[in-house]
């Protein structure tokens, strides 16, 4: 069960965006598995993708097209990653994009492909092709939640969120969907994310917002330390709103839009963790007092990805020695261990290189039984801080991944 994550509601339509979903029979069990997102002409589209060297065929094509063309459609299939499929995977991806273009009357280079699912299997292009006419026919502005469902793999709940803000005299809408549950770790996690706004904004400024937002959201989560071949995050501005075009980053309007988009990114990335495979706990790890941001993230991820730490959280066991060991093994060679402090919620666990005098097993156990836990590490060596969100590691995670292809 997801940790304090509810089914999305009150999702806003975005002027200039239509969506559609159908079942193309890409799974053994009948479900929606194919999605099309249509963007109005004049939309600005930016994205970031996995850094995995074995990146999937659709990632390679989408990256190139996003840089060189003005996309009008995003085609997303679940159930098949089209990764590890060699040159044939590229041909299959281009073929499907051409079929979409033929139906909607655009150039094939204006169709961005995205896939998620099992790696190493040939893309079932005929099944997808047969489903395309119904997919195009079903395009509608209100299908955001249906799209969030259709892009799911091991997710247990669709993830979508909306926000409305006022820029000048204009009301701006922002809506996003994301999928991801396992194989989660920067860069990008194993996720597909599509966030759209009707705000009027220059592409270069939109890209700046995207890069800043991803750094503090999707690149600050981890379930299992595994980076997917298919990670993609797309930010769309249809420019349909009547606000004065945001063409620099020195305005109040820019700051407000950036903050609102970053809030959406953070909530969506945390939703991935709350729905992490087998998760029973949502764990917030904050590292402060670092000399550099990188050492803060190094410590946070070392703790977050330690199987010993994660299983202790599953058992609600305050085995603080595992946390201490992870910090000491995080690669900070000149770390003064006597200066490090560790707190679980308000309880001090470690100070002066040893267990705190205020620590008791009874107090720690009560905290560890919670399904949301905050862990604070103070390195006491500088003014930098970073935050990472993670899950525990339960028996259910093994069950899900042991049977993923069956």
Q: Is 190 a catalytic residue?
A: yes
What tokens does 130 get? 């047969």
CB atoms within 10 A of CB 28: 8
Question: Residue 386 forms beta bridges with which residues?
Answer: 287
Taking each helix axis as running N to C, give the angle between helix 320-328 and helix 293-304, from 0 to 180 degrees, rounded to the nearest 10: 140
Active site residue: 116, 190, 229, 391, which one?
A: 190
Give the dihedral of Cα atoms 216, 311, 50, 160; nearest 10 deg. Answer: -60
Q: Which of 330, 279, 275 is nearest to 301 (CA)?
A: 330
DSSP code string of 139-171: -BTT-HHHHHHHT-SS-SS-EEEEEEEEETTEE
Q: What is the largest CA-CA distance in the chain?
A: 71
Q: Which of 60, 17, 58 is nearest to 37 (CA)?
A: 17
* Site of tokens 């929606």: 32
Which residues form the catalytic set? 190
């Amino acid at each position: 069960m997801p940790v304090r994550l509810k089914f999305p509601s009150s999702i806003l339509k975005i002027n200039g965006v239509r969506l559609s979903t159908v079942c193309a029979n890409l799974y053994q069990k009948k479900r929606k598995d194919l999605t099309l997102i249509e963007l109005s002409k004049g939309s600005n589209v930016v994205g970031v993708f996995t850094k995995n060297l074995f990146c999937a065929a659709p990632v390679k094509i989408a990256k190139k097209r996003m840089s060189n063309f003005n996309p009008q459609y995003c085609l997303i299939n679940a159930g098949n990653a089209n990764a590890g499929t060699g040159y044939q995977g590229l041909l299959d991806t281009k073929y499907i994009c051409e079929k979409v273009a033929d139906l909607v009357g655009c150039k094939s280079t204006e169709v961005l492909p995205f896939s998620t699912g099992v790696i190493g299997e040939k893309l079932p292009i005929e099944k997808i092709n047969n489903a395309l006419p119904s997919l195009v026919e079903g395009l509608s502005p209100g299908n955001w939640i249906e799209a969030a469902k259709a892009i799911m793999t091991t997710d247990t709940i669709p993830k979508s969120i909306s926000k409305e803000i006022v820029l000048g005299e204009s009301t701006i809408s922002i809506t996003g969907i994301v999928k991801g549950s396992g194989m989660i770790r920067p860069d990008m996690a194993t996720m597909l994310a599509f966030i759209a706004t009707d705000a009027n904004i220059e592409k270069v400024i939109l890209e700046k917002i995207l890069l800043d937002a991803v750094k503090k959201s999707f690149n600050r989560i981890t379930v299992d330390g595994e980076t997917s071949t298919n990670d993609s995050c797309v930010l769309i501005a249809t420019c349909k709103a009547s606000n004065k075009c945001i063409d620099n980053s020195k305005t109040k309007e820019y700051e407000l839009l950036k903050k609102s988009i970053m809030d959406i990114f953070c909530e969506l990335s945390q939703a991935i963790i709350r729905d992490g495979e087998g998760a029973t706990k949502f764990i917030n790890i904050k590292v402060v007092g670092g000399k550099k941001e990188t050492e803060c993230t190094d410590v946070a991820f070392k703790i977050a990805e330690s199987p010993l730490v994660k299983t202790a959280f599953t058992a609600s066991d305050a085995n603080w020695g595992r946390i201490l060991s992870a910090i000491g093994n995080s690669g900070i060679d000149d770390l003064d261990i006597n200066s490090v402090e560790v707190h679980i919620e308000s309880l001090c666990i470690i100070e002066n290189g040893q267990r705190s005098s205020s620590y008791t097993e009874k107090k720690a156990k009560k905290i560890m039984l919670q399904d949301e836990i905050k862990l604070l590490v103070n390195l006491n060596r500088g003014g930098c801080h970073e935050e990472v969100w993670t899950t525990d590691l339960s028996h259910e995670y093994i069950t899900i991944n042991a049977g993923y292809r069956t």
